[in-house]
Amino acid sequence: MAYRINPALAAELENYGAANASECFNCGNCSAVCSLTEGETVFPRKFIRYMQLGLTDKLIQSPDPWLCYYCGECSDTCPREAEPGELMMSARRWLTGKYDVTGLARIFYTSSVGSAIILVVLAVILGLVVISSSGSMGLEEIALWSYLDSHAVHNLGLGVIGLVVLFGLVGVINMVAQIGKAARFAPRSGGGGSDWFSAIFSTAFTEILGHRRYITCDEEKDEPWHQQRWFVHGSTAWGFFGLLIATMAHWILDMVGLKETATWVPMYSLPIRMLGIVAGIFLVYGSTTLLMKRINKGPDKQAATSAPSDWVFLLLLWIAGITGFLTLIGEYAPPMAITYYLLLIHVVLSMELVLLAPFTKFAHVFYRSVAIYIHQQRGATKG
């Protein structure tokens, strides 16, 4: 297969953060030091080579950038300080931009001004939609859902999820189509990989929930468990999934008529509410720690450079978590107007967080999962 050389690839990737990769003299230290190399799934040097040679097709047709979790060992030991880990990160950002058809992902990764405008405009639109059906703020007694119309919020939520599924699917289909073009990942029979069922199972449980590769990635790190990257990330992810399940369950209960969203319940009475609270704690812990690491630009190498997309995602996640908790406290505290506003912010920003998922850092949820699935199914060795 012939490949077209794209001389601008290096400049493109530099736009996404890979500042030093042209320093690389291809010694191979990074690939050899990486704890995630398996068989012939070897990175990052190969990808720096693609960048230096302008092999856009090679880069876009590989799922491997998604298999890197950026422990930073390669960057720490690189004799040229070419920051291979940062190149892998930039490749993932660049790929997110390539998979996305709307161009929004590229804006979120490369322009702070553009990101801010999109963020504000979208928040205003979502806010207006939510407020348009709002009722009164009762100050004798907190009645959150007499202020916001729960059905309107549910319907808006369904719309948002519909859009996310649509754009997420388009992105994933683009990704799979690109990867499918590479001869290496052409279908083959026997040896190396697993069947689709066990691949899905291990992707979902061992990898996404269990963070196996993340833990392997950091096995040489010497930090307390609650500061380890896999735990902080896991905490955020588990928290988000827990809240997603709790929210969906609330909605289902509402649909089948078991419990209306607007009704007040004691804090302990529903397992779903307990799930929500526990998951919320995980989410707030995780997202706060992630934000702090990015603000401090360390100690993790990963946190040293942040694109607007990273901030958008983490800030939305964090604000959604915090306002959720404050609203919950407000529900059981003496009635205050601010509780209603917190709810409004919580609803609007949660919607925005989910709606922007295919275009921000959040998109890694889709792409990393698909890449891991492909990796599990194909196996680590070449056919």
Query: Where do contacts with other proteins occur on this chain (CB under 8 A)?
Result: 25-34, 37, 39-40, 42, 45-46, 76-81
Q: Is 27 or 124 the residue whose CB approaches other proteins more closely? A: 27
Q: Is 77 or 227 the residue whose CB approaches other proteins more closely? A: 77
> Shortest approach of other proteins to residue 32 CB, angstroms?
3
Q: Is 6 or 37 the residue whose CB approaches other proteins more closely? A: 37
Report DSSP letters for 186-233, one per residue: S---SSSS--HHHHHHIIIIIIIIT-HHHHHHTTT--S-GGGSHHHHH
> Shortest approach of other proteins to residue 48 CB, angstroms?
12
> Shortest approach of other proteins to residue 77 CB, angstroms?
6
- 237, 278 contact by CB (below 8 A): no
Residue with tokens 């998951």: 279
| CA end-to-end span of the chain | 17
> Shortest approach of other proteins to residue 38 CB, angstroms?
9
Q: Is 151 or 184 the residue whose CB approaches other proteins more closely? A: 184
262 contacts: CB under 8 Å, gap ≥ 6: 143, 144, 145, 146, 150
Q: Is 42 or 153 the residue whose CB approaches other proteins more closely? A: 42
> Shortest approach of other proteins to residue 45 CB, angstroms?
6
User: What is the torsional sign of CA 201, 207, 210, 215?
Assistant: positive
> Shortest approach of other proteins to residue 150 CB, angstroms?
55
> Shortest approach of other proteins to residue 130 CB, angstroms?
52
Number of H helices, E strands in the chain: 17, 0
* C-alpha–C-alpha distance, residues 371 and 207, integer Å: 11
Which is nearest to 266 in space by CA: 258, 274, 255, 256? 274
- 34, 44 contact by CB (below 8 A): yes
Q: Is 57 or 83 the residue whose CB approaches other proteins more closely? A: 83
CA distance to 35, 47, 213, 230, 311, per residue, from 218 (Å): 8, 21, 9, 8, 23
* C-alpha–C-alpha distance, residues 202 and 199, integer Å: 5
Q: Is 42 or 316 the residue whose CB approaches other proteins more closely? A: 42
